[in-house]
Amino acid sequence: MVNEDKVKLMTKLAIYESTKGKKQLNISKYYKRDYVRYNMFKTAVTATLAFFMILGGYILINAEELLLKLNEMDLLHEAIKLGIIYAVFVIGYMVIARLVYARKYEKVKPDVIIYNHNLKKLKEMYDKEEKEMKERRAGRGVTLENDNLNNY
């Protein structure tokens, strides 16, 4: 006999898993701090690559002007200035990433809590059904191989 409540709950869980649950369950595998740090690290690497690509583009566009001023430039001063710009660029992106990923984790949390609650309800339904089946079998004096295997 089909238990309608169990089928409805299973359908609800399957729909969640196949839609937004894919991403949300992957996010929920991490602690919030680990998830945010991991994504901040990815952001730092990406921001570094972007910075050097922008710097390379600037150097290519202004190559002639830079070569003409090369002897007059204080290279140490320019390197320090470039380092400060790089630090501000990367730190700015990391602050934004921290805010975005912390908020994203918090937004996902309630849906995952509901999903876990529904999984618990489904497990309780299965446990209750299994208990009833064992009681019926015991009442009839019927034992199955699976019942004997569970005792070991």
Tell me the pLDDT tens digit for each residue of 22-64. Answer: 888 889 888 999 999 999 999 999 999 999 999 999 999 999 9
Q: Tell me whether residue 150 is in a domain.
A: no
- Distance CA(91)–CA(77), nearest Å, equals 21
**How high is the pLDDT of residue 152?**
46
Average pLDDT over residues 127-132: 88
**How high is the pLDDT of residue 58?**
95
**How high is the pLDDT of residue 144?**
54
Q: Tell me whether residue 145 is in a domain.
A: no
Q: Tell me whether residue 144 is in a domain.
A: no
**The total number of structural domains that make up the chain:** 1
Of 18-32, 61-75, 112-126, 138-152, the least confident: 138-152
Q: Is the pLDDT of residue 149 over 70?
A: no
- The tokens describing 32, both together, are 């919030």
Q: Tell me whether residue 142 is in a domain.
A: no
Task: Report, in angstroms and rounded to the nearest whole number, the Rg of the chain calculated over CA atoms.
Answer: 30
Q: Tell me whether residue 143 is in a domain.
A: no
Residue 50 near residue 42 (C-beta atoms within 8 A): no
Percent of the chain with pLDDT over 70: 90
Give the structural domain span for 29: 4-137
Residue 122 near residue 16 (C-beta atoms within 8 A): no
Q: Tell me whether residue 147 is in a domain.
A: no
Q: Tell me whether residue 148 is in a domain.
A: no
Q: Greater confidence, 145 or 115? A: 115
Q: Tell me whether residue 91 is in a domain.
A: yes
Residue 112 CB coordination number (10 Å): 17
- Distance CA(131)–CA(150), nearest Å, equals 13
**How high is the pLDDT of residue 43?**
96
Tell me the pLDDT tens digit for each residue of 99-114. Answer: 999 999 999 999 999 9
